[in-house]
Structure 1
Amino acid sequence: MSKITEIGSSSQFDGILKANTYVIADFYATWCGPCKQIAPIYEQLATSHSAPGKLAFVKIDTDRNSNIAQQHNVTAMPTFLVFKNGTIKDTIRGANPSALRSAVASATTDAGRGSGPSGAAFQSKGRVLGSEGNPGRTTSGAAFPAFNMGGLSDGIMRFLGLYATTLFSFDAYAAAEASPFNVKTNRR
């Protein structure tokens, strides 16, 4: 039993977009060779990952539904569009099984968390500033130590020295490592 819906009209497609958090659409043509090659992979992904109301898989024949293809700027086949709450989240052009599997896995994971119109956007309780649970690091002085007394001029000198050293050497990495301007050396 296939869990892929063949789209026949733009109103049918709009209804599926509104009824599901994620929709993965396969824009194909009957004459397209790469479309036929990736079709079994798409069908297998649809069979194993479809979830009513969360993740739906559809196929759209670009010859019969050219208006939908034009609306979503589909110019190559196959093109897979991943919709989240009706807006395009990801685009895969061409028969790329690894990219398709990755996009489906990402959508499945996100849909499983319950994000979307009916789920809560944030699941953790969060952190409170000044709480005891996770003490932050203490700073001594400014937030950027490079700008502490003389730090800015030291940083500029190191940059210029490293630039000149690496510019006029055959092995830039080795020259930078051996340079007295190396940022890993303490010059104070």
Structure 2
Amino acid sequence: MSKVTPITSPAHFHTLTSSSTYTIVDFHATWCGPCKVIAPIFEQLATAETKPGKIVFCKVDVDEQREVAGRYGVSAMPTFLILKGGSVKETVRGANATQLRTAVLSAAADAAKVPAKSSAGTFSGKGQSLGATTTPDGTTNGSRYVPAPSLPNFGAMLSSPATFAQGSGFPQTAVRFLGLYFTSLFSLDPEAAARESPFALQRGGGGGSGSRVGSVR
């Protein structure tokens, strides 16, 4: 599969040059004899040196992409441009294989020194658990999302405090304590009153009676 990308529009050309550090461009024409002679060498260089994000190769048919050719003032074929970003770093005119190879290898050596560009629209990076934090050295502490504690059901607590007190948790325990306290406070037999109170903790199992609750004074 060829490593040389045929340019189909000015927008396509812009996208390609923006996605790589270096773009090697072959401006050619179908009727150009020298273009056909050097084309295999350009293909060989593209196969050997293409590195996505660092250096890519493309060809522009000057008759089909006049806007792209006109932007760089191309008037003779073949013309090879070494672009870094959108700027021309070197120009090779004519089917000069030696000069073309030297220019491409120089660009490839320079491209190897810098990080590859990311493709447009692509996001890279490690995932992070919700709630994790990033330390100054770029690592995460691995913490996970911990949901906030739920609030007590105040409606159930107010409408049926004795039933609410049968649940587990601090709010239920507090209601149960207060209910038993006031039940035994005004009773002549605090222990019996606490045992029979609807606030006493009921435990199921075998039809037995609820657990005994000591008096609260």
**1:115–1:102 Cα change, 3 Å:** farther
Distance 1:74 1:19 in 2: 23
Question: For 1:9-24, what aligned pairs fall within 5 Å after superposition?
Answer: 9-24=9-24
> Is the Cα contact below 8 Å between 2:53 and 2:116 reproduced in 1?
no
In structure 2, the partner of 1:106 is 106
Number of equivalenced pairs: 118
The alignment partner of 1:59 has SS state of: strand
Q: So what's the TM-score if we normalise by structure 1? A: 0.61
> Is the Cα contact below 8 Å between 2:22 and 2:107 reproduced in 1?
yes
One-letter amino acid of the structure 2 residue matched with residue 13 of structure 1: F
In structure 2, the partner of 1:63 is 63
Gap regions ≥5 residues in structure 1? 119-188
In structure 2, the partner of 1:130 is none
One-letter amino acid of the structure 1 residue matched with residue 90 of structure 2: D
The alignment partner of 2:110 has SS state of: helix
> Is the Cα contact below 8 Å between 1:24 and 1:58 reproduced in 2?
yes
One-letter amino acid of the structure 2 residue matched with residue 27 of structure 1: F
Runs (4+) of structure 1 exceeding 4 A deviation are: 115-118
Deviations 1:78-106 (A, max 9, x none): 00000002111000110000000000110
> Is the Cα contact below 8 Å between 1:5 and 1:57 reproduced in 2?
yes
In structure 2, the partner of 1:82 is 82
Deviations 1:116-145 (A, max 9, x none): 878xxxxxxxxxxxxxxxxxxxxxxxxxxx
Distance 1:85 1:70 in 2: 18
Q: Which has the higher contact order (CA 8 A, sep 6+)?
A: 1
Q: So what's the TM-score if we normalise by structure 2? A: 0.53
The sequence identity of aligned pairs, in percent, is 52
> Is the Cα contact below 8 Å between 1:55 and 1:111 reproduced in 2?
yes
Deviations 1:133-159 (A, max 9, x none): xxxxxxxxxxxxxxxxxxxxxxxxxxx
Q: CA RMSD in A?
A: 1.4
The alignment partner of 2:89 has SS state of: strand
One-letter amino acid of the structure 2 residue matched with residue 112 of structure 1: A
